[in-house]
Structures are given as structure tokens and as C-alpha cells.
Structure 1
Amino acid sequence: MASTSDDKKTEDRNDVERASEDVVSLEKGDILQLEHTDPVLNAKMHLVNNAIDEIGFTRYQWKLFVLNGFGYAVDSLILLIQSIVAGQAALEFNPSYLRGLTIAAYVGMLVGALFWGLTADIIGRKIAFNSSLLICSIFAIVAGASPNWIVLGLFVCLSAFGAGGNLVLDTAVFLEYLPSKDQWLLTLMAAWWGIGQLVAGFFAWAFIPNFSCNDPALVEDADPCTYSNNKGWRYVWFASGSLVFVMSLLRITIIRLKETPKFLIGEGKDEQCVSTLLSIAQKYNRPCSLTLEAMQACGTINSGRRSSVSHAKSKWSLAEIWVHLEGLYATKRIGISTTFIWVSWTLIGLAYPLYNVFLPSYLQSRGASFGQTSAYITWRNYTLVNMCGIFGPVLAGYMCATPLGRKYTMVIGALVTMAFFFAYTQVRSESQNLGFTCTINFCLNIYYGTLYAYTPEVLPSAHRGTGNGIAIGWNRVMGILSAVIATVADTTTPVPIYICAALYIVMAGIAAIFPFEPYGKRSS
């Protein structure tokens, strides 16, 4: 009897060793390779990556590309809408601090990024994915009915809270279903960011010139701005909120998202993970050789003092947060990578809003200096500039799929953007003003779109939401600071432009020394 028991143990040990040998042969194509501190989690992640590669790209991923892209679009839409309406709303409400809406939006997005990022790692991607846009849409619609500046700021903040989690969730969900050869699509998905900007521009172009009061500082004998003669900014909020509401319904009804396989691994739910992948393979008639037995042969995820490397013994404790923070510094290389990513997000968090969020101010002030005072032309130009932003990530996606990889795509994008920022300070005509702003918006989205994709690609799956959420959180903190800097520096002068150019030089240098290059490799 004892001999039979010993034989059984030997057989089980041989199965594990064979599974481990298979895993070693698969490590060659993975970004983190042996960076994981739990070999069992590492082994299971390789098997899942193999299964996703075997299934390939299906209509399910195309649906995710569109529906996750909605989140990108909404983030930029809400951020720019507040800057578009701020001027007209201020004429009606006469606030003591004109940059209040910008700060409200960034505070909401800061809290949203941290909240949704942590919950994505604690309770999963699915709940946040299905609810964040709905929350955003409700408060965006209500913002249009605001009776005063403070209430408007509150609803802008709450709407931004819902939108703020999308950049965390959308990249994680899409990446965790993507075959490795198609990971460049994560960069291309940032084109949706430009689409959101374009929609914001169209709404502004349609409503602001036609349904707004005149600024008494610019037009003599202008009537006082009241609710009845200044509804344009309210229409912009109503239209934006309604569009986001439709997007949130489409997310719930079209995709019927299942929890991502890589999150389920960290939860120890091997059976659900295998079931999810097999159901996709069966639905789209694709092969999938992953079995529950192969997953279980890798062993059990357990590190003693925790329930696993992915969670503390209690999910609803401070220890859970610490587990995810510690996981982002599990090894020296991962720690360096995490730090560089957060610094990059901090820098772009200052550079981007100093340009894009205050772009209406630049266009208006420079247009006025060239003799262009038409609100219609100003918002037409704004729409054209935002349209150009769509195509930066398209080029970036192509570059990322070449040996340039993610790192040098960011380097090139940042340096070219820096050059055009410096050149923009020498603009001397209205046509040059429009041409340079279009070019800058195109180029800066090469860097920004690639950074969006690079961040989740190199973060450990079990801590991806937390790492991404903190990165975007630093971005939002600097967005708040940008409102203060813009007030002091004055956005009608070239000073903020010089600041942006200098920041892009630093970002290019950091991108060049990132420790990981995802090109040709697979994410965890």
C-alpha cells in the first residue's frame, strides 16, 4: 500500500516536472520571462498565452477593440468638454476662479484612476468595465442643468470619476485577450482618443457659436449672459452625456464580457479560465488545446503568508493594496520599469494639458493677433486640429510593429513633438497657426498613444490595474498642477509651449532607457 502511494507521488512529481519543462520552452517569447517571483503563476501564464495565440484574432477581439475604444474616446471627450464650456459658463456664473472646472475634472479622474485601478485587481475587470461609462454618462447629462459654478464643478468631477477608470480598464481588458502578434493594436486603439477629441470639437463647433452669449470684453453693448441666451455649453454637455450613455449600453449588450483569463489565474480559478478560452475557441471555430489538467499540473499558486502572490488573505484589507504595490517592485528590473513608467506619466501629465486642454485659449489669442475673431472659425480650427490627433496612433501602431519597437517609437514621437513645439513659438500667420497645431497634435499622439499601450504590456498581470491606475493618477495630479501653472504663466503667451517642449526632451530620454521592449514578445 505504501509502495502504491510512493509511486503515485513520483508520478505526480514527474507530471509537474514535465509541465515545467514545457513552460521553460515557452518562456523565450515572454516580456517578463523569469521576472515573476512565483514560478507556478508564471507557468500558468505561459500556458494561457499559448492558448490565446493558438485561438488567434477573432470577432471577439474586434468587438473589444471598438467597445474598449469607447473608453479612450470618453476620457478625452470629458476632459476637453470641460475646457470648451468653461469660458461660456464663466460668463454666466462669474466664478472667482476660472480654472476651477479643469481642477474638478482632474480631481475626478485622479480618484477614478486609483479607485477603478485597484478594484480591477481586487474584484476583477468585468464590473468596472460595465459600470464606469454608465456613471460618467449620468453625471455628464446632469452637468448641463447646473444652476451655478460650484454645482457644475461637482458634476464635472463626478462624471470624470466614471471616465477616469477607462484608460486603466480598457487597455488591461483588451491586452489580456490579445494574441501576441496583435499586441501592436493596443497602440492603434489610442486613435479612439483622437476620435473623442474630434467629437468634442464637433459639439463645440455646432453649439457654442450658435447658442452662446457674447463676451462683454470683446463685444461692445453685449447683453448680460443668462440661462436663456447662453445655452450652448449646456447643449454640449447634454449631447456628450447622451452619447456616452449609448456607448455604455452598447458595452453591456454587445460584448457580454467575461472575466479575463489572466485575472482568473491570479484568483486560482483555473477551471473558469480554461472554460472562458474554450468557449471563445468553440464560438469562432478555432483550435484550443489548453486543458484543466495541464493547468493543474503546474501546481497551486500559494506563497504561505498570503492566499497567493496576487492577493492578501483578505481582499478587503490594507494588506491587499500592499500586495499589489509590492508586486510592482517584485524584482529590480520590474521596479525600475515601474518607476520609469510613473515618471513618464507624470511628465506627460503636465505637458499634455498645458497644450491640449488650453488649446482653445492659444487658438483664440493667436487668432486675434492675426485679425481672426470669428468664434465659428476658432471652433472649426479646433475641430480640424483634433481630427489630426486621430492619425498619430495609427502611425505609432505601424512603427510599433516594426523593429523600432515601442521604446524607439516613443523616442521619435517625443523628439519630433519637441521640435514642432519650439517651432510653434515662431508662428506669424493664421495659416501657420492652424498648420502647426495640427502637426503638433498628430506628433504628440505618437508618443502618448504608445505610452498608453506600453504601460500595461510590461506590468505583471496580477498588478496591472494598480500599476496603470497609479501611473494615470500621477498624470492627473500634474493635470491639476497644469491649471495652476497656466493661471500664473498665462496661456496667451508662449511660456507654456516652451515648458511642453522641454518636458518632451526628458520623456524621450526616459523612453530610451526603459528596461523592457515588448516588440516580438508576449505580455504576462
Structure 2
Amino acid sequence: MDENIFDKSDGMERSFEKGTDREHHAGLHDDVDHLGDASNIEIESEEAQIFSMREIDPVLDAKMRLVNKTMDEIGWTPMHLKLFFLNGFGYSADSLILALQAVTASQAALEFRPSFAYALNVAVYTGMLVGVLVWGLGADIIGRRFAFNVSLFSSSVFAIVAGSSPNWVVLAVFVSLAAFGAGGNLVLDTTVFLEYLPSNKQWLITLMACWWGLAYDATTCTKENNMGWRYIWYGNGGLVMLCSILRVTVIRLRETPKYLLTKGDDAAVVKTFQDIAQKYNRPCHLTLEALDSLGRITSTYGNSRYGFNELWAHICGLFVTKKLALSTTMIWLSWLLIGLAYPLFYVFLPDYLATRGAQTGQSGPYYQWRNYMLSSVAGIFGPVAAGFMCNLKVLGRRYTMAIGALITMAFFFAYTAVRTPAQNVGLSCAISFSLNIYYGTLYAYTPESLPSAHRATGNGIAVAFNRVMGLVSSFVAAYGNTATSVPIFVCAGLYVVMAFVAVMFPFEPYGKQAM
């Protein structure tokens, strides 16, 4: 890396001495011409960003480019490998809580005999909905580190306690609280990992979604007495707690540099990078003087540091330009569509197949868990394929999502013709694989295409749309006519819409640095 990249600060400082209003900040474009060789690097670095914040806050834009250059200078380290595994636990925890609810609900219902059998499904999606909003929006205010560590630990505690529930209502409450922590943590896993990654490794955010499928392989307890469902919650809650402890003891996570930067703590940014560079013997030429000379960031704050104005500032920050507003809206739409299409399909599918004489397999725990395992293992390789595809220039993130959505659509249509157990298992595995190509890439694209100062907020709201649709599917399953064929074809058709939206996204993160 060219050390002169940080020498441009003197010229930058001269441009900001002219004033701090937007008109003079915009003059930064003209002053770049006087920076010599460093100006060329400046222009190149702007082109290397997914989007620019220059017109909104040139100080933030300039500082963020310095931070990105520093991350690339330090490069990939063992710390990043630890983050990949420890953040992956969060993916697994979110998937695990959903799986635990699904596989224990029927056995718990035998004991408690509830009047509303879908209460646990409603509880888990409600908890995740509230969790992604509280932890996602809160992480932009209180910081990534606290939310990252506490959310997963709280999920483990409530998952364990759920196993001792004395009745159906209490069980639903604790399931919801466990989902509250796990669902919120899911937003932070991608956010934290991305905000430490060098630009040439951002594709790993897509690959990290493979952890989603691993959780289902852990819930294979088939104990037939009615204590079995309680043991499942105890055991898997303990596993999540172990993962949360490893996060604190193995990585000792610091606040992410980009969060610190957006909150104006330049000294902490420099210290974080210098400590990482020193520990792993990597170069780091970023100095506090270089950051301070660029000026003070003001665009990422509300009038009240911890009040509603601060929260509103983070929401508004996702719409500061027409292009960013379009991107944010399309991302949220994509999460809503996949949240509607996927669960509704599986709500209608069993009764639809049954009315047409399909024989989808023998009943019993062995066949149930065998099919779960096969589908989950196939799903692990979806993000692996997506990680390879999205790192190809010809595809990038957008076309990878489009391909995943269209293939899933084709398999969904094909599933309506299932008549044998072999067809059932085969198409289940194919759908799990292709769907996770889309899902895994969307999980990565979302934080990549949002500004750092408001990333957790935008990511949290996006996933919240997904959880809302999960709630809708619960009530449709309880009160709708699940034997009709129309919703299945509508759900499959939604994947065509998802593919179109993916292609039309205004930003392509391939080969560019997240802001």
C-alpha cells in the first residue's frame, strides 16, 4: 500500500479551513487538484466505494475512505478467521431457535393441550421481529459490541429456561424471549464482521450463511417420552450459551472502527487499528492527525444522543440521496417478498400434496429427522455456491441473487408434482440449496449496501419485514384454506419478482468497499 495515501490530509485541511457549510465542503472537489499524487489515489478510492457520501458529508466520506484503506492495508488476519466462526454461531443460533420451536411444539402441545396450536410459531416470530428492531436500531446508538455480546447470551438463558416451562403460555413467553436475543444477534453478526473486513474478503459475508444450515443438524433428539422436548431446550440452550461465552473469551471483541468513526471517536479508531496491526505484525500508517485534519463528522447524530431524534436520524440517514433511498426501499422489499413466499409455500404445501394423492414418505421420527438432515446439509452448500458466484465479475451480488431466486422458483413449481418419497426428499434438498443461494447473498448484500452509521438500523428493519411475513404465515396456517393451489403458484411467482428486483438494485458491491 502506498504510504502517501495519508499525506493528503494537509491539502484536505486547507479545503476545510474555508468553512464548514455544504457549499464550501463541496469545494473539496476543486481542492483535490492541488494535492499532487495523493489526489489520484483519492479519486481511485472514491470509485472503489459502493457509493459515495461526499455530497452529504464530505468529512465522513473522506474519513471512511481512509479507514477502508487502512483495513485493506492490514488485510486478513487470524482475528478475522475467529470472527467468521464466532459470528457464524449467531447465524446458527437464529436458525436453531426456529428449529427448536418447530420440533418441540407438537410434543409440548401433547402435554399442555393448548387451544391455539400455532402459539409457539407466533411467539418465535414475534420475538425475532422485536429483537431485530430493538438490537438493530439500538446497535447504531449504543454500539455494536454490547449488543453483539448481550443479545446472544440472553437468548441462551431464555432457551434453557424454556425447558422448565410449567404451561403453554409460559413456554411461549420464553420462546419469544429466546428468539428476541437470537433474532437481534443475526443483524449484528453481518454488521460486525463486515466492519472489520478488508474489501477483498467481503464475499465471506455471503459464505457465512452456511452456518444457518448447521443448526438444524444439532436438534436430532428423538427421545419418545414427553421429557424429550425439555431436554432439547436445555441442551441446545446450553450450546448457545457456550458459543456466547466463547465470543467474550476468545475474541474479546472491541467496538468496530467504523462505528467509532461515525460517532466521532477518531482516537479509538486509530488505536484499534494500531493494536491489530501490532498484534499480527501488519503495517498501519493511519494516524490521529490524518483523521483530525479532515474535520468533524456531524451528519450521523440526532439532536439528542440517546433520544428519539437520534433514532430518527439513523432512519433518515438511509434515505439521504435518491439512489440510496431507492436501494434501501428495494432491499426492504426483497426481505418482505422472501418472508412472504417461503413460509407460505410450506404452509400450503402439505395439504395441497395430500389432496392430490402424494405419498411423501413414511411417518415417524427416523424419517422426519433423516429428511431434516438431508435438507439441511444441502442448504449448507447454497451459501458456498453463492460465495463463489458473487465473487465472479460477470455475476456479482445482484445476478447471483437473481439466479438463486429463479432456480428456486423452478423447483417450487416442480414440487407441486411430487408423488413419491424420493421426489419429496430430492426436491426438498434442491430447494434448500437454491434458496440459500438467494438468501445467503441477500444477507450479505444488505449490510454491504447500507452506510456504516446507519447499517444496523437498516439491516434490522429489513429483517423485521421478513419476520412480519413469518407471523402472517402462522395465522394463514391456522385459519386459511391450505388445500387450494393458487397461493402455491403465487409464492413461486414471487421469486420472479425477487429476481427482477435483484437485477435492478442500484448498487453492485462486487470489487468495491463498503462505506
The TM-score normalised by the length of structure 1 is: 0.88
Q: In structure 2, do the counterparts of structure 1 residues 79 and 11 end up closer, same or farther at CA, with 3 Å as the change threshold?
A: closer
Q: Secondary structure at the match of 2:305?
A: coil
Q: Which string of whole-angstrom CA distances, capped at 9 and with x for unpartnered residues, describes residues 43-66 of structure 1? A: 000000000001111001001100
- The answer for the alignment partner of 1:13 in structure 2 is 14
- The answer for the alignment partner of 1:410 in structure 2 is 401
Cα shift at 1:337? 0.3
Identity of aligned residues (%): 58
- CA distance in structure 2 between the partners assigned to 1:384 and 1:347 by the alignment: 26
| Counterpart contact for 2:348–2:488, Cα < 8 Å | no
Q: In structure 2, do the counterparts of structure 1 residues 418 and 45 end up closer, same or farther at CA, with 3 Å as the change threshold?
A: same
Where do 5+ consecutive residues of structure 1 fail to align?
1-8, 212-228, 302-307
Q: Which string of whole-angstrom CA distances, capped at 9 and with x for unpartnered residues, describes residues 361-382 of structure 1? A: 9999999835612321122111
**The one of 43, 46, 58 aligned to 1:27:** 46
- CA distance in structure 2 between the partners assigned to 1:238 and 1:359 by the alignment: 32
1:389 equivalent to 2:379? Answer: yes
- CA distance in structure 2 between the partners assigned to 1:104 and 1:297 by the alignment: 51
After TM superposition, the structure 1 = structure 2 runs for residues 185-196 of structure 1, keeping only pairs within 5 Å, are 185-196=204-215
- The answer for the alignment partner of 1:226 in structure 2 is none
Q: Which string of whole-angstrom CA distances, capped at 9 and with x for unpartnered residues, describes residues 213-262 of structure 1? A: xxxxxxxxxxxxxxxx4112111111110110100100110010011110
1:459 equivalent to 2:450? Answer: yes
- CA distance in structure 2 between the partners assigned to 1:367 and 1:76 by the alignment: 32
After TM superposition, the structure 1 = structure 2 runs for residues 422-441 of structure 1, keeping only pairs within 5 Å, are 422-441=413-432
Q: Which string of whole-angstrom CA distances, capped at 9 and with x for unpartnered residues, describes residues 311-351 of structure 1? A: 11322211111111110000000000000000111111122
Q: CA RMSD in A?
A: 2.4
- CA distance in structure 1 between the partners assigned to 2:241 and 2:432 by the alignment: 28
**The one of 130, 133, 138 aligned to 2:152:** 133
Cα shift at 1:353? 2.6
Cα shift at 1:484? 1.3
Cα shift at 1:127? 0.2
After TM superposition, the structure 1 = structure 2 runs for residues 361-400 of structure 1, keeping only pairs within 5 Å, are 369-370=359-360, 372-400=362-390
Which amino acid in 2 is paired with 1:65?
F
**The one of 191, 206, 212 aligned to 2:221:** 206
Which amino acid in 2 is paired with 1:78?
I
| Counterpart contact for 1:191–1:392, Cα < 8 Å | yes
| Counterpart contact for 1:366–1:433, Cα < 8 Å | no
Q: In structure 2, do the counterparts of structure 1 residues 268 and 485 end up closer, same or farther at CA, with 3 Å as the change threshold?
A: same
- CA distance in structure 1 between the partners assigned to 2:89 and 2:352 by the alignment: 28
Cα shift at 1:130? 1.0
- CA distance in structure 1 between the partners assigned to 2:355 and 2:433 by the alignment: 22
Q: In structure 2, do the counterparts of structure 1 residues 405 and 35 end up closer, same or farther at CA, with 3 Å as the change threshold?
A: farther
Q: Secondary structure at the match of 2:217?
A: helix
1:237 equivalent to 2:230? Answer: no
After TM superposition, the structure 1 = structure 2 runs for residues 57-456 of structure 1, keeping only pairs within 5 Å, are 57-199=76-218, 203=219, 205-207=220-222, 210-211=223-224, 229-301=225-297, 308-355=298-345, 369-370=359-360, 372-403=362-393, 404-456=395-447
Cα shift at 1:198? 2.4
Q: Which string of whole-angstrom CA distances, capped at 9 and with x for unpartnered residues, describes residues 267-288 of structure 1? A: 1111110110111111111111
Where do 5+ consecutive residues of structure 2 fail to align?
1-9, 18-30
Q: Secondary structure at the match of 1:98?
A: coil
- The answer for the alignment partner of 1:519 in structure 2 is 510
After TM superposition, the structure 1 = structure 2 runs for residues 496-511 of structure 1, keeping only pairs within 5 Å, are 497-511=488-502
Q: Which string of whole-angstrom CA distances, capped at 9 and with x for unpartnered residues, describes residues 437-487 of structure 1? A: 011001100000000000000101000011001111111111100111222
- CA distance in structure 1 between the partners assigned to 2:178 and 2:341 by the alignment: 23
| Counterpart contact for 1:367–1:378, Cα < 8 Å | no
Which amino acid in 2 is paired with 1:400?
C
Q: Secondary structure at the match of 1:386?
A: helix
| Counterpart contact for 1:85–1:233, Cα < 8 Å | yes
Q: Secondary structure at the match of 1:411?
A: helix
Which amino acid in 2 is paired with 1:76?
S
| Structure 1, 341-350 or 452-461: larger mean CA deviation | 341-350
Q: In structure 2, do the counterparts of structure 1 residues 68 and 491 end up closer, same or farther at CA, with 3 Å as the change threshold?
A: farther
| Structure 1, 76-85 or 20-29: larger mean CA deviation | 20-29
**The one of 470, 473, 484 aligned to 1:479:** 470
- CA distance in structure 2 between the partners assigned to 1:423 and 1:172 by the alignment: 36
Which amino acid in 1 is paired with 2:285?
S
Q: Which string of whole-angstrom CA distances, capped at 9 and with x for unpartnered residues, describes residues 89-141 of structure 1? A: 11221111111111100111111101001111001100011111110001001
The TM-score normalised by the length of structure 2 is: 0.90
| Counterpart contact for 2:216–2:372, Cα < 8 Å | no
